[in-house]
Amino acid sequence: MSLISEGAELRGPIDGQVLAEPSLATVGDYIALLKPRVMSLVVFTALVGLSVAPGSLHPVTAFTALLCIAVGAGASGALNMWFDADIDALMTRTARRPVPMGRVQPGEALAFGLTLSCFAVVVLGLLVNVLAAALLAFTIFFYVVVYTMWLKRSTPQNIVIGGAAGAFPPMIGWAAVTGSLSLEPILLFAIILMWTPPHFWALALYRTEDYARAGIPMLPVVAGEVSTRRHILLYTLIVVPLGIAPWPLGFAGVLYGATACVTGAIMVLLAWQVFRERRPVERAARHLFAFSILYLFLLFAVLLVERGWGGLIARIAA
Partner 1 sequence: MTEPAKDDGVVLTEAQKRARRSRSIAIALSLAALVILFYAMTLVKGPMVLIRPM
Site membership for partner 1, residue 3 (CB under 8 A): yes
3-state secondary structure of 292: helix
Site membership for partner 1, residue 27 (CB under 8 A): yes
Q: How near is the Cβ of 54 to partner 1 at its closest, in Å?
A: 15
Residues 67, 118, 266, 268: which binds partner 1 (CB under 8 A)? 67
Site membership for partner 1, residue 80 (CB under 8 A): no
Site membership for partner 1, residue 317 (CB under 8 A): no
Site membership for partner 1, residue 24 (CB under 8 A): yes
DSSP-derived secondary structure for 162-227: HHHHHHSHHHHHHHHHHSS--HHHHHHHHHHHHHHHHHHHHHHHTSHHHHHHHT---HHHHT-HHH
Residues 60, 254, 317, 318: which binds partner 1 (CB under 8 A)? 60
Site membership for partner 1, residue 283 (CB under 8 A): no
Which 108-147 positions form the footprint of partner 1 (CB under 8 A)? Answer: 123, 125-127, 129-131
Which 176-195 positions form the footprint of partner 1 (CB under 8 A)? Answer: 179-180
Site membership for partner 1, residue 30 (CB under 8 A): yes
Q: How near is the Cβ of 225 to partner 1 at its closest, in Å?
A: 45
Its sign, for the CA torsion 127, 81, 282, 233, is negative
Cα 142 from Cα 290, distance rounded (Å): 26
Q: Residue 246's closest CA among 179, 190, 180?
A: 190
Cα 112 from Cα 82, distance rounded (Å): 10
3-state secondary structure of 16: coil
Site membership for partner 1, residue 6 (CB under 8 A): yes
3-state secondary structure of 289: helix
Residues 1, 14, 18, 254: which binds partner 1 (CB under 8 A)? 1
> In the structure, how many helices (H) and strands (E) does the chain have?
16, 0
Q: How near is the Cβ of 59 to partner 1 at its closest, in Å?
A: 9
- What is the total residue count of the chain? 318
Site membership for partner 1, residue 254 (CB under 8 A): no
Site membership for partner 1, residue 4 (CB under 8 A): yes
Residues 23, 40, 92, 154: which binds partner 1 (CB under 8 A)? 23
The size of the interface with partner 1 (CB under 8 A), counted in residues, is: 27
Please name the residues in contact with 250: beta carbons below 8 A apart, sequence gap of 6 or more.
none
Q: Which residues pair with 18 in a beta bridge?
A: 11
Residues 2, 17, 250, 317: which binds partner 1 (CB under 8 A)? 2
DSSP-derived secondary structure for 71-95: HHHHHHHHHHHHHTHHHHTTSTTTT
Residue closer to partner 1 by CB (options 179, 253) is 179
Residue closer to partner 1 by CB (options 120, 274) is 120
Please report, as ranges, the residues that interact with partner 1 according to CB under 8 A.
1-6, 22-27, 30, 58, 60-61, 64, 67, 123, 125-127, 129-131, 179-180
